[in-house]
Chains A and B, each alone.
Chain A
Amino acid sequence: MTIQSRSEILFVAFFILAALFPLAAGLSYALAYSMGIAGALGTGFTLQYWQTVLGHSGFWTSAGLSMAVAAGCVLLSTGLALAIVLTFQRQLVHSRLRFGIYWPLAIPPIVAAFWGFQLLGSSGLLARFAAGTGLIQGPEDFPPLINDPGQVGVILVLTMATFPFFTVVAQQFFRSEHIPELMRLARTLGASHRQAVWRIAVPVLLRKLRPVLVLYSVFLFGAYEVPLILGNQSNRMISILIAQKFRRFDLLELPQAYVITVLYALIVLGMLIGFRPGRETKGHAL
């Protein structure tokens, strides 16, 4: 074996050790705990905790809600991003928007959540604006946008944090795929502007964006900070449900926390295998 190939093996081994091994070990422990084999509360093999979680609506509503929030945000963000790229092309290249669109990337999720709280809360900035224009009398008249069962605040803030990134990526593809040229070509061949947008620009961008959209769906599905501060407690997103079962709820619910962790891992794995975001992305994964 040459020195070079030895070091190559070492690097692959290191990669497996850092990327796969801890996750596999953690999930194995979670599985063992969820079946009563590990942990101080373990009393030997049992499927009781799995039955409790799968038989109770809590997990299913959380998983469903997280899916819905992720889908809603991705949909809204994609719509916004495409609208901006197609409407403000000139500004994206020349004006302050070119720099401005990057600004939200400087906001950490915890700050985005705090900002959402300050903006959308019933005595927040929007409510003050509404009070200033006489639309509402006091904070109680302002519609609940945060901690609301509909998760409006969570979706809005996650969308505010996501769409600029989608816009940046879509703009890159807009150029790299020569979409302006393609659209011009279509126009010379007699297509209307509308047709050029809907038949050429949008489909091409969506196809290129697909891996990013899938990856973001997975991220948003497991979002934590924003629903932690803006979410609703009877309708928890899955990360919150898991964290609360681990930390705040009754001691005896600990094995259930591990059950839900394993289920979450299975869903993420399913999404990643089902849509394979890795196949075509080019490191656009901030």
Chain B
Amino acid sequence: MRYFAFWLSLFIFGACTGSPKDTRPDLRTLSWPRIEKQAGGTTVYMMMWQGDPLINRYMAEYITPTVKERYGINLQIAPGQGTEIVKTLLAEKEAGRQASSIDLCWINGETFYQLRQIEALYGPFTDLLPNAQYIDFGNPFIGYDFQQKVDGYECPWGNVQLAVIYDTTRTPEPPRTLEALGQYVRKHPGKFTIPYEFTGMTLLKSWMIALAGNPDALNGPFDETKYAQLSGQLWDFINQNKAYFWRNGNTFPESLAATHQMFANGELDFTFSNNDSEVDNKILQNIFPATARAYVFDSGTIQNSHFLGIPATATNKAGALAVLNFMISPEAQLEKMQPAVWGDGTVLDLEKLPAKWRNRFENTPGRRYAPRRQEINEKALQEPAPEYMIRLYRDFREQVIEN
């Protein structure tokens, strides 16, 4: 039995030696060149949604090699989004781990809110980044994330607006109101569905605002009565029409990629994108037919930004900052904006940019199939408070899918 006790003690001893405490100086006291120097030659672990081949390619073929070349940083990307990031960091907290497995993560809205709640984010840090001077923080769609002030705890990375994608040959006159959509669905059974993921839930928020009849209806903190009333109407609308949805509304696709694929195959008449110019990049990739177009409902759709955050327990904050600073640099933002690359809207304020860069942004060959940005800007709705998103995820599951 002595041996067993020995092994056991070895195991327990092993279990108790936590990670070493971070003894490096506080980054806030360092100058940017010192931070860059500290970042050199390190590995940065980034967790992000990997549901789009183009975005993955932008990261793998542009960001990763460039930071490697300039700073010697080895950027490693792991898949994970939203709640997964929250739960990973919560589990690390529960285990009392001082060193997170993540250095940088792609977040927004309800994820940001939950991470702030469990105090898992590092910050404020945006003022440390030299390139943050160009960011358009004055724009409420950029400086606020789901009604929460960003406060330097996450850095804007891209700005987009939800758009509906359809094929002009199949649907010459797409429905522009909720009512028209209801009629369309009944006339064309099986051709419509709502993806049960971030984009689909964002669509539902746009509809809730449409049902309220006032673009500012959901601004301000979470309001239970308002939510109950509007979501009730929403579930009624969906459940009344559900029988005419794809697969009779018994199933909803769980990924946007799958929804895109079914649209491309002609199985669905509509797909959605949180990125108003995605239709361009999908046509360029030959995934969507060249007759595909995007539009925004008359009642408007949500415009929001997506952000990058650094966990409070990240072991390589200097590396994360260096990568982040590059990701918001004019060159990386311009590259990201090309429809053939990703087509993601920039968070930079062109007025603040040096003339040389402003020129390049203004003269870059733009979108051909997506609606014009100024046009849909007028129909942009602000993101409601994060609790709406959290509740919609749960209630859509309970009220629609499992009903």
Contact = CB atoms under 8 A, between A and B. Distances in A.
B83 A248 contact: yes
B93 A40 contact: yes
A100 interface: no
Nearest to B250: A149
A138 B401 CA distance: 26
Nearest to A150: B250
Given A14-B7, A234-B401, A140 B190 contact: yes
Contacts of A249: 83, 393-394, 397
A148 B266 CA distance: 19
Given A139-B266, A233-B254, A247 B393 contact: no
A6 B3 contact: yes
A233 B253 CA distance: 9
A40 B254 contact: no
B51 to A, nearest CB: 13
A5 B250 CA distance: 62
B61 interface: no
A9 interface: yes
A139 B252 CA distance: 16
Interface in B131-179: none
B125 interface: no
B267 A123 contact: yes
A24 B266 CA distance: 51
Contacts of A13: 3-4, 7
The majority secondary structure among interface residues of chain B is: helix
Contacts of A122: 262, 265, 267
A17 B87 contact: no
B251 interface: yes
A21 B8 CA distance: 9
Nearest to B10: A17
Interface in B377-397: 390, 393-394, 397
B196 A251 contact: no
Contact of A147 (B7, B251, B267): B251
B118 interface: yes
Interface string A16-34: 1100010000000000000
B216 interface: no
Contacts of A277: none
Interface in B1-40: 1, 3-4, 7-8, 11
Given A40-B93, A123-B265, A233-B254, A248 B84 contact: yes
A181 interface: no
B114 interface: yes
B86 interface: yes
Chain A CB count within 10 A is highest, among B191, B253, B254, for: B254
Interface string B75-109: 00000001110110010011000000000000000
A148 B87 contact: no
B394 A233 contact: no
A254 B87 contact: yes
Given A6-B3, A17-B11, A138-B266, A250 B394 contact: yes
Given A246-B87, A247-B83, A249-B83, A233 B251 contact: yes
B224 interface: no
Interface string A205-243: 000000000000000000000000000111000000000
A204 B190 CA distance: 50
A10 interface: yes
Chain B CB count within 10 A is highest, among A9, A39, A123, A233, for: A233
Contacts of A148: 247, 250-251
Contacts of B69: none
Contact of A40 (B7, B90, B196): B90
B94 A39 contact: yes
B362 interface: no
Contact of B401 (A139, A233, A250): A233
B402 interface: yes
B265 A251 contact: no
Nearest to A141: B190
Contacts of A40: 90, 93-94, 118
Interface in B237-285: 247, 250-254, 262, 265-267
Contacts of B1: 9
Given A10-B3, A123-B267, A233 B86 contact: no
A144 interface: yes
Interface string A121-140: 01100000000000000111
11 contacts: A13-B7, A40-B90, A58-B402, A138-B266, A139-B266, A140-B267, A233-B397, A249-B83, A251-B83, A251-B87, A254-B87
Interface of B: 1, 3-4, 7-8, 11, 82-84, 86-87, 90, 93-94, 114, 118, 190-191, 196, 247, 250-254, 262, 265-267, 390, 393-394, 397, 401-402
Given A139-B262, A246-B87, A254-B87, 7 more contacts: A9-B1, A39-B94, A144-B247, A149-B250, A233-B252, A234-B401, A234-B402
Interface of A: 6, 9-10, 13-14, 16-17, 21, 38-40, 58, 122-123, 138-140, 144, 147-149, 232-234, 246-251, 254
